[in-house]
Chain A
Amino acid sequence: MSDAATLAPPMPERFVAAATCRHCGTPVVRGGGDFCCAGCAGAFAFIRELGLERYYVGRSLDPSARRPRPSEEPADNAALSAVAASDGTASLTLLIDGLHCAACVWLIERALQRHPAVIAARVNLTMRRLFLRWRGDVDAAPGLVQTVQRLGFRVIPCGAAREAGPSLDERELLRALAVAGFAAANVMLLSIAIWAGFPGEMGPATRDLLHWVSALIALPAVAYSGRPFFRSAMAALRVGRANMDVPISVGVLLATGMSLFETAHSGPHAYFESVAMLLLFLLVGRYLDRRARGRVHSAAEHLLRFSAAFAMVFGAEGTTRRVPVASLALGDIMLVAAGERIPADGMVIAGHSSVDKSLVDGESLPQAVAPGSKVLAGTLNIAAPLRVTIEAVGERTFLAEVARLMEVAERGRARLVVLADRVARRYAPAVHLTALTTFLGWAVVSPWQTALLNAVNVLIITCPCALGLAVPVVQVIACNRLFRSGVLLKSATALERLAEIDTVIFDKTGTLTRGYPELVRDGSFEEADITEAAALAAHSRHPLSRALCRAATEFCAAENVEEHPGEGLCCSTAGGALRLGSRLWCGASERAASGDTDLELWFARPGRVPLRFRFEDALRPDARAVVAELRRLGKKVVLLSGDRTKAVERAALELGIEDWTARVSPAEKFEALRLFTAAGDRVLMVGDGLNDGPALAAAHVSISPSSAADLCQTAADVVFQGASLRAVTQALAVARCSERLVRENIGFAILYNLAAVPLAIAGLVTPPLAAAAMSFSSIAVVANALRLGRRA
């Protein structure tokens, strides 16, 4: 008997169960049972059956993550990426949505390990991935995926099977860094012994021995740790360009060769320690840079794979099969279940439902669809299953059009060159020229060895440690600061571009507003009415029904509820039928129509006047303050939205934005951005939704809320989480601050070179001086960069 299980007091759990679902923690009505839905009850029973109840004791639910509520998604989608190995095993990597803490990891791993065929089940909490290997073939995959789904987690198919850890590139850099660190520390120890002892007690024989030992350590280290630089330098030279890695590679190779020559001829100067330290500093910079990018990447990727990658298609004999979206053909008939995204443009041939188009065109109200209606890919089917015949595939779909516009825009942006690269482009030739001049100058007056030694000194002194280290350190610190406040940088150059902008363009739905409707408490109904209506609304996925459920503090889902897509819900009780839905559906048409396009739900009860619930897509709480702050900073603020004119006008008025346009299509937004750019403005685009994708890509820099659609996530440079729009001004502030630090650091590096290079040219630099100067400049720029962590 496990001690932990028996000793765990059941008391807190029962205490909690009075108000929240025992499985997922959603509030439920008192006395309405322990669970919010049948799925949670099933998950709870399943976990009980596996004997893993400790999960409930040990977990801590993260309120911002998805609740562990099982959904009825099919498992075959995710299972399709399983691959069979030659040794009779198969493996599968999945992204898991809804991981809260280590208890979730434990639960998933244990539940899968109970399966007799499973060899390994490992969840990586950082990358949110599950790596699974089992004996048998790929047919077992759906069952295993289902196990995870039954526990209440959502799974997302994930490309290659070996994605369960950091990228190969990052690991290689870390290995190179470790080797360089080892070499630098040991060679430095030996070098200090030489510098301290040589003209004194140490004889030339001992010195030569120490030089040889240094060479023994440094040569393999240079060969191994230098590879990232050599490769990059070769790649640049092959296309006839010089990047920062060219002087680095030349300096490292020349200094190593020179030192080896000196050692062999029992000369006094060897630079092994300088070479090893140079590589160490540069690799630290390179690794930090790489890591900051990698982390951002995985965070964004996590949200990226939700799109409908498969479609359910009817075959010849009325059977259905799942096919990848890419292989859909014109005229195929597909079945779209309620709650699924529509995978391709088409026309409805059977079924009545409503479709949420907010991601595609910013329209906040769902539209009713019936046979004959056209539907676009990327829209969400809310109420009931639909049969859709496909009318456009591949290049001609709306999605492909948006993607094409984005590609055009991104190509334009690739031409931008970051400040550090601009400096490096001029720096490299200057360094080479100086070194060459030094060599030629000294060659006239002294033997070629001395001339070469001094030229190598110039190369070592000028090596851009400060430059290579300062920029990544600033970036990592800025990234971390923003990360803590829920802002993710997706592009390495985003900070620099953010600091340059002068115009901010906002989208409305989901950006300035929360992106979902909320009940307006205008006093025309009681709290009890909400509870009663929410009991019906619990049966629908319609955004307004959901908003009603959110507004209700506690409710119990009613029984015998039928949904009539596009009209409303009906519940037959002993006293008559309750109806919740449109004005017409509830028989309220005789009342004076208020004539607006508000979001509303009517609630009719037998023998009582129908009630009206009004909703609105409320502005984010600090939208006003953020717009005012941007104005104060002297930025031009513009609102471009695809929503109805009235809704946009109201938002613009409330926020004090004078320049606004409604009903803008994706192509028009893209065009508007071009006009701004042509006029010389540097535009920051803040938006979500597929309709903003091209505009986000065309802007100088772009920000998206993380609730946004997939395509748009790939286009935005910065993604922020949470309800606060403050992230926009925060990102701007950090960007300005880091921009200043980068400039300061580059200025410092130049100053340092101006002071040290003449010494090197004059032949006054000895190995200890070179090592000290290099360390000092690197430490100085890092210390300067660290100030960013403290500033407001």
Chain B
Amino acid sequence: MTGLLYLIPIALAMGLAGLIAFLWALRSGQFDDLDGAAGRVLFDDPDGPESTTSDRRLPP
């Protein structure tokens, strides 16, 4: 039964990692626009991502 002493913490840590990842995704707005996100990938520009960041380029 001593195996439990480290197996339980490991199992809990893995579960917690999943929970935290989900909460993070929720907080950072990953679930806000499910329709738009699906189409956004089709318009990925070669000149880098800019939609949520402050990365901007002036017209050439």
List residues of chain A with CB under 8 Å of any chain B CB.
2-4, 49-51, 54, 58, 101-103, 105-106, 109-110, 113-114, 116, 118-127, 164-166, 171, 174-175, 178-179, 182, 185-186, 189-190, 202-203, 206, 209-210, 213, 217
Contacts and interface: CB of A to CB of B under 8 A. Distances in A.
A206 B43 contact: no
Interface residues on B, range: 35 or more
B52 to A, nearest CB: 6
A102 B59 contact: no
B15 A182 contact: yes
A113 B22 CA distance: 30
A109 B51 contact: yes
A178 B19 contact: yes
A171 B33 contact: no
Nearest to A179: B19
A217 B58 CA distance: 52
Contact of B36 (A110, A120, A124, A178): A124
26 contacts: A2-B46, A2-B47, A4-B46, A54-B43, A58-B43, A102-B42, A103-B39, A105-B40, A106-B43, A109-B50, A113-B50, A113-B57, A114-B57, A116-B58, A120-B53, A120-B54, A122-B51, A123-B36, A124-B33, A125-B39, A166-B31, A174-B26, A182-B15, A186-B15, A209-B4, A213-B12
Which 7 pairs between the two chains have the least Cβ-Cβ distance? A102-B39, A125-B36, A106-B43, A165-B32, A124-B33, A182-B19, A125-B35
B40 A126 contact: no
A608 B11 CA distance: 91
Nearest to B9: A213
Nearest to B14: A186
Nearest to A203: B1
B23 A175 contact: yes
B4 to A, nearest CB: 7
A106 B35 CA distance: 13
Given A4-B46, A178-B23, A125 B52 contact: no
A217 B46 contact: no
Contact of A182 (B16, B40, B58): B16
A114 B59 contact: yes
Interface string B7-45: 010011001101100110010010111111011101101
Contacts of B8: 190, 213
A210 B8 CA distance: 9
A116 B59 CA distance: 10
A124 B8 CA distance: 42
Contacts, number: 98
B46 A186 contact: no
Contacts of B42: 58, 102
Q: Max chain B CB contacts within 10 Å: which of A50, A102, A103, A119? A: A102
A106 B40 contact: yes
Contact of A178 (B22, B35, B60): B22
B4 A3 contact: no
A116 B19 CA distance: 39
A51 B34 contact: no
A114 B38 CA distance: 24
A127 B47 contact: no
Contacts of A125: 33, 35-36, 39
A122 B54 CA distance: 11
Contacts of B50: 109-110, 113
B11 A186 contact: yes
Nearest to A217: B12
A110 B8 CA distance: 50
A127 B56 contact: no
Given A118-B56, A174-B31, 13 more contacts: A102-B43, A103-B43, A110-B50, A116-B56, A120-B54, A123-B36, A124-B32, A166-B32, A171-B26, A178-B22, A182-B15, A202-B1, A209-B4
A14 B57 CA distance: 30
A179 B42 CA distance: 34
A110 B59 CA distance: 11
A122 B51 CA distance: 6
A122 B40 CA distance: 11
A511 B42 CA distance: 40
A105 B39 contact: yes
Contacts of A58: 42-43
Given A114-B59, A186-B15, A178 B1 contact: no
A168 to B, nearest CB: 12
